[in-house]
Homo-oligomer: A and B are copies of this chain.
Amino acid sequence: VAPWEAALGAKVTVPTLDGKISLSIQPGSQSGQRLRVKGRGLPTKTGRGDLYVILKVVMPDKNETEKTRDLWENLQKQHPDFDPRATIGSKGGGA
């Protein structure tokens, strides 16, 4: 997902074993987060397993304009206490 989709939430289309589905991304979603889609996984003796969709935040291409640079800097200023490396070294930690 785009960073703004993770931040604000979005409806996205995801390919599955049997066709595309629409998936709701909640506002405040995180990279690496696992979303369960019931009954869309592998067949089991008793029915179907669940499908897990792993979120990955994907950045747009390097193509910053003065405007986007400004917006990023502004977002940074709005998060003075955010440390993306707070959990580094632990499992699934940031980098």
Contacts and interface: CB of A to CB of B under 8 A. Distances in A.
Interface of A: 1-8, 12-15, 27-32, 53-65, 67-69, 71-76, 78-79, 82, 84-85, 88-89, 94-95
Copies in the complex: 2
A76 B1 contact: no
Contact of A94 (B1, B61, B85): B1
B58 A27 contact: no
B78 A15 contact: no
Nearest to A6: B59
A64 B76 CA distance: 13
Contacts of A74: 71
Contacts of A29: 59
